[in-house]
Amino acid sequence: MLALESALVARLATVPGLLGVYGAAEFGDLIKAGKPAPCAYVLYGGYSVVQSSDDASAARVEDRWLVVLSIKHAGRAPGSEPVRDAAGPLIQAVLDALMGWQPEVASYKAFRLDSAPRPEYSPAHLLFPLAFRIEHVVRGAG
């Protein structure tokens, strides 16, 4: 189920304006890591079973993925509007890259936008999460 992380990182690496795309390991150390912003973090958000086969050997599941944009946040400092205004086009570029994108991995359907947690603001960064769901089939060895 975690197989898509590298494909997502590679896909988002093509988004103009992002200075880096990182996985969950780097997100845990966000403040200490000092990654250049704007950047994105790809995080696995779990899965839900949509349907199981009668013999329990296969299931259709929906994975949830979060893309958290880290954007420099200048607060209410004079002249900070252009920095905050840059978030809108970057958010749209990520939506363009992922909505409807179907990875070249067997049994995966296309990514769909999902409800996301609210953004978090700090004096230094705006953390803006975008959530996506993708459906696929998993099979057991039995």
Q: Mind listing the pLDDT tens digit of every residue in the chain (142 residues)?
A: 678 999 999 999 999 999 999 988 888 766 556 778 899 999 999 999 999 988 989 999 999 999 999 888 655 544 455 556 778 899 999 999 999 999 998 889 999 999 999 998 877 778 899 999 999 999 988 6
What is the number of other CB atoms lying within 10 angstroms of the CB of residue 35?
18
Sign of the C-alpha dihedral, residues 41, 47, 48, 52?
positive
131's tokens: 């959530």
Structural domains of the chain ordered from first start = 4-139 (3.30.2000.10)
Q: What's the pTM value of the predicted model, to 2 decimals?
A: 0.87
